[in-house]
Amino acid sequence: MTATAGETVPASIELRSAALPLVALGFLCFSLGMNLYGPVVINGMLVKLYAGREARALATAAIGISFAAALLPPLLGSLLAHFDWRGALQWLSLGMLAALWLVILAGTPRGVVAVQSRAEGPADTGFYRDPAFWLIGLCVALAVNVSIVLTVAYPAHFASRGFSPAQAGWFLAAGGTGGLLGKTCLAWLGDAIQSQAKWAAVAALLVQCAGIFLLHAAQDAPETVVALGLIGFGAGAILPVHPFLNSRYFDAAASSHVNGAQMPLFLPFALVGAPLAGYVYDRIGSYEPVLLALAGTLAVAALLAARLPAAGSAALRTEP
């Protein structure tokens, strides 16, 4: 923004302009770090260690995210009632750092050593020729990026409905609780329906879709809580469903390669989704059309999952 003669640029705009590159750099570092120790690595390890029990292992490992989603938003809402957003984030960060070190020091058993790695052959690239690779990757890419756009839209949407930050925190906690239930259901039922794994994905996506429709129509707090619970249930279940689906269609030895190779499919939707949603909000002052578009996106993702062949019909390949 350039000021003409006689005009001054507001200090808040100057501050935002100077801070934007730093914020972008922070998110870039966060994304890189999360990918180095995050889902691709952990999910690949779990699939190999718990053959035949992948659903339970993957869902149980992902439950921690839901605990955090259920506990942190109300806490942050309470902090925002007493501090500005910088102070609230600083106190939250210090508390999370202390909790992390407490878990590391007190929760890790003594004498734990690394499991001896097994030499594996060259990476299998045959999965690129399997339609299941693309159907699973695109389906999950759409679902995950819907959740990202929702995260961006929630604050402005709740504010437009007249809810306070504390109420918004409880709404997000309902979403975290729903995610906990979704992962628990997958842990309970997933290993019993391995040959029909794709329908677990379809069900999770349609539940989340129904939650978004209810959020679009909700006018009061109870309806919003139910909507966030449904959204959280579907979004929480789809996280472990992704590696679970891959474990049904591809050999466990190639699980990390498959999960990692699908990650680039997430990028185009991540680059387009949130900026486009923000543009719509800037133009009309509402996320209502965005919510409907997100529900439609989940319906497309459910259709992609439904088009997967039966898990038993796809060869579990290790050869290139």
Q: What is the pLDDT of residue 70?
A: 65
Task: Return the number of other C-beta atoms located less than 10 Å from residue 284's C-beta.
Answer: 11
Q: What is the pLDDT of residue 133?
A: 85
Q: What is the CATH number of the domain that holds 188?
A: 1.20.1250.20
Higher pLDDT, 53 or 112: 53
Is it the case that residue 312 has pLDDT exceeding 60? no
Q: How confident is the model at residue 57 (pLDDT cuts 50, 70, 90)?
A: low
Average the pLDDT over each of 133-147, 161-175, 286-300 and give the range with the smallest value: 161-175
3-state SS string over the chain? CCCCCCCCCCHHHHHHHHHHHHHHHHHHHHHHHHHHHCHHHHHHHHHHHCCCCHHHHHHHHHHHHHHHHHHHHHHHHHHHCCCCHHHHHHHHHHHHHHHHHHHHHHHCCCCCCCCCCCCCCCCCCHHHHCHHHHHHHHHHHHHHHHHHHHHHHHHHHHHHCCCCHHHHHHHHHHHHHHHHHHHHHHHHHHHHHHHHHHHHHHHHHHHHHHHHHHHHHCCCHHHHHHHHHHHHHHHHHHHHHHHHHHHHHCCHHHHHHHHHHHHHHHHHHHHHHHHHHHHHHHHHCCCHHHHHHHHHHHHHHHHHHHCCCCHHHCCCCCCC
What are the tens digits of pLDDT across the range 236-245? 888 887 787 8
Residues in the chain: 320
Please compute the mean of the pLDDT values over residues 34-41 and round it to a whole number. 58
| Containing structural domain, residue 216 | 39-102+127-312
Read off the amino acid at residue 1: M
Specify whether the CB–CB gap between 176 and 70 falls below 8 A.
Answer: yes
Please compute the mean of the pLDDT values over residues 14-30 and round it to a whole number. 66
Q: What is the pLDDT of residue 43?
A: 62
Among the ranges 20-29, 159-168, 217-226, which has the highest mean pLDDT value?
217-226
Read off the amino acid at residue 87: G
The answer as to whether 217 is a domain residue is yes
The answer as to whether 11 is a domain residue is no
Residues in contact with 168: Cβ distance below 8 Å, sequence separation at least 6, in sequence order: 73, 77, 154, 155, 158, 159
CB-hemisphere CA count at 13 Å for 249?
27
The answer as to whether 252 is a domain residue is yes
- State the burial class of residue 66 (Cβ atoms within 10 Å of its Cβ: 0-12, 13-18, 19+): buried
The answer as to whether 162 is a domain residue is yes
Q: What is the pLDDT of residue 88?
A: 78
Does pTM top 0.85 for this prediction? Answer: no
Is it the case that residue 295 has pLDDT exceeding 60? yes
Specify whether the CB–CB gap between 235 and 42 falls below 8 A.
Answer: no
Q: What is the pLDDT of residue 124?
A: 55
For residue 234, give the nearest of 144, 132, 136, 141 by alpha carbon. Answer: 144
Domain count, the chain: 1
Q: How confident is the model at residue 316 (pLDDT cuts 50, 70, 90)?
A: very low
Task: Return the number of other C-beta atoms located less than 10 Å from residue 172's C-beta.
Answer: 23
The answer as to whether 181 is a domain residue is yes
The answer as to whether 14 is a domain residue is no
Distance CA 283, CA 169 (A): 27
Q: How confident is the model at residue 104 (pLDDT cuts 50, 70, 90)?
A: low
Average the pLDDT over each of 264-268, 292-296, 299-303, 308-312 and give the range with the smallest value: 308-312
Q: What is the pLDDT of residue 69?
A: 64
**Mean of the per-residue pLDDT values for the chain?**
74
Distance CA 308, CA 320 (A): 22
Q: How confident is the model at residue 319 (pLDDT cuts 50, 70, 90)?
A: very low
Q: What is the pLDDT of residue 286?
A: 84
The answer as to whether 236 is a domain residue is yes
Distance CA 155, CA 165 (A): 8
Distance CA 238, CA 143 (A): 8
Q: Which residue has the tokens 């909790």?
A: 99
Please give the share of the chain, as a percent, with pLDDT higher than 90. Answer: 11
The answer as to whether 67 is a domain residue is yes
